[in-house]
Structure 1
Amino acid sequence: MMPFCNANRFDRFFCDSVLLIKLSWAETQIFELITFIPLSIILLDTVNVTAVSYLYIINTILSLFSIPSQHKTFSTCSSHFIIVILVYLVTTLMCPLIFSPRNQLMEDALKAGLKRRLMIFKKQFLT
């Protein structure tokens, strides 16, 4: 159990272990290792299983004798491969956008960025 200091509150609506570790006044390196090592193993295992399975699929497809059947099989598997890439990459990149809209600073930055894009668009295409 980690001892906490101050009011034990943080200004976020999403509870994250990193924030809890920052609230603690005790030495946190052990807690960070306890969370980092299993999460790294889980991530690497899932990525490795997915990569190995796709290597087997590609090896099987390349062992087909006719070029048209290889092409047809690649086109069938490519949509699934794209979805797997989207799940691994895009979902991770979208997390800050999903969990941050209530954060006023994030909302202000998003509005300012959209206004700049709109002004650039108007200058380029409407003048």
Structure 2
Amino acid sequence: MEQWNRTIVTEFILQGFHLIPELEICLFVIFLLIYLLTLMGNLLIIVLVCSDHHLHMPMYYFLCNFSFLEIVITTTVVPKMLTNLLAKKKTISFLGCMTQSFFYFLMGTIEFFVISAMAFDRYVAICNPLHYSTILRWRVCHYLILCSWLGGFLSISTPTVLKLQLPFCGPNVINHFFCDSGPLIKLACTDTRFIQLLDFFLFSFVVLSSLILTMVSYIYITVTILRIPSSSGRKKAFSTCAAHLIIVALGFGSTIFIYVTPFQGSSLGINKLICVLTVFVTPALSPFIFTLKNEKVKEVLKNAIAKRLMYIC
């Protein structure tokens, strides 16, 4: 009987936003446009970094990895959500739900570690510019990215295995637009306090440890910049860090609000709205934030456009 109960739920219903069909169509168009903008913006950064030797530097290597993670995170969630906005039966299979949840949190966890690596890169560039090339060698950069992926996998694998073993034998309606951890765990017909606490401690460790590393780097950066005698030099140094700090504020702020709470899922309506920020707004804005604040990227982009126009003419 216990084994039968474990397999009775073969699919989940994603409630989404509780809108009338006409509004769902409008929301479909808006989210589709934002998704396409996200793909184009982040793919553009990847193409520019890979194709132009002027951007073959650690700073842009980390930025390229960050853009890749943004693409994967949005692609994990958005296509299924767009499909459900137009569908009468807004379902996702059990395996599809678990897969979506795994990759969403895996890529998100890796992204936090990559943000810390980007902060370390800025710390070395501003606080130890003479030793930049010796400290951040390409081998070190590859190790930082490899450790980010390994750390993300190790952080997410244990909770995922435990969730796969949960019995789902009753309600199958998830009060969200994707298979978020909190709403999913609430549907299990067993005591899930251990998994909730495990999620809380792992999320807290990943988010807060990477936030501390990032903020320590920027404290040292700020102190160093304030010691620069010329105002133009201080302004230039701050401008190179401004884009990163905006992404840090958006990413860490929203994640701490949603996941670094003892029991997730208490304010699902608010959490859904904030998840729209992390799934749609931040990935769509990050390419523009990074390019508009970076003179070298803008220069490479202008040259690429000029060469393309010359080729067409």
Shorter-chain TM-score range: 0.5 to 0.7
Identity of aligned residues (%): 42
Q: 1:10 — aligned with what?
A: 173
What is the one-letter code of the residue matched to 2:200?
Answer: F
1:75–1:17 Cα change, 3 Å = closer
Query: Shift in Å at residue 30 of structure 1?
Result: 0.7
When the two structures are superposed, what TM-score results if normalisation uses the length of structure 2? 0.27
Q: 1:13 & 1:74 partners in 2: Cα distance? A: 38
What is the one-letter code of the residue matched to 1:29?
Answer: R
Query: Shift in Å at residue 89 of structure 1?
Result: 4.3
Q: 1:86 & 1:36 partners in 2: Cα distance? A: 20
Q: 1:74 — aligned with what?
A: 238
1:4–1:49 Cα change, 3 Å = same
Query: Shift in Å at residue 57 of structure 1?
Result: 0.7
What is the one-letter code of the residue matched to 2:205?
Answer: I
Q: 1:58 & 1:2 partners in 2: Cα distance? A: 47
Which segment drifts farther, 16-25 or 77-86?
Answer: 77-86
1:26–1:86 Cα change, 3 Å = closer
The 3-state SS of whatever aligns with 2:195 is helix
Q: 1:13 & 1:71 partners in 2: Cα distance? A: 42
Query: Shift in Å at residue 35 of structure 1?
Result: 1.3
Q: 2:192 & 2:253 partners in 1: Cα distance? A: 30
1:21–1:71 Cα change, 3 Å = closer
> Is the aligned partner of 1:22 residue 2:202?
no
Q: 2:207 — aligned with what?
A: 43
What is the one-letter code of the residue matched to 1:48?
Answer: I
Q: 1:80 & 1:25 partners in 2: Cα distance? A: 42
Q: 1:78 & 1:97 partners in 2: Cα distance? A: 19
Query: Shift in Å at residue 52 of structure 1?
Result: 0.9
Query: Shift in Å at residue 37 of structure 1?
Result: 0.8
Aligned residue-pair number: 98
The match for 2:275 among 63, 81, 95 is 95
1:48–1:98 Cα change, 3 Å = closer
Q: 2:221 & 2:246 partners in 1: Cα distance? A: 14
- Map Cα deviations across residues 24-77 of structure 1 (whole Å, 9 max, x no partner): 221111111121111111110121111111111101112223344223423443
Maintained 8 Å contact 2:167/2:188? yes
Name structure 1 gaps, 5 residues minimum: 100-127
Q: 2:228 — aligned with what?
A: 64
What is the one-letter code of the residue matched to 1:46?
Answer: S
Maintained 8 Å contact 2:251/2:278? no
Q: 1:98 & 1:20 partners in 2: Cα distance? A: 19
Q: Which has the larger radius of gyration?
A: 1
Q: 2:245 & 2:277 partners in 1: Cα distance? A: 24
Which segment drifts farther, 18-27 or 49-58?
Answer: 18-27
Q: 1:18 & 1:33 partners in 2: Cα distance? A: 11
* C-alpha RMSD over aligned residues: 3.0
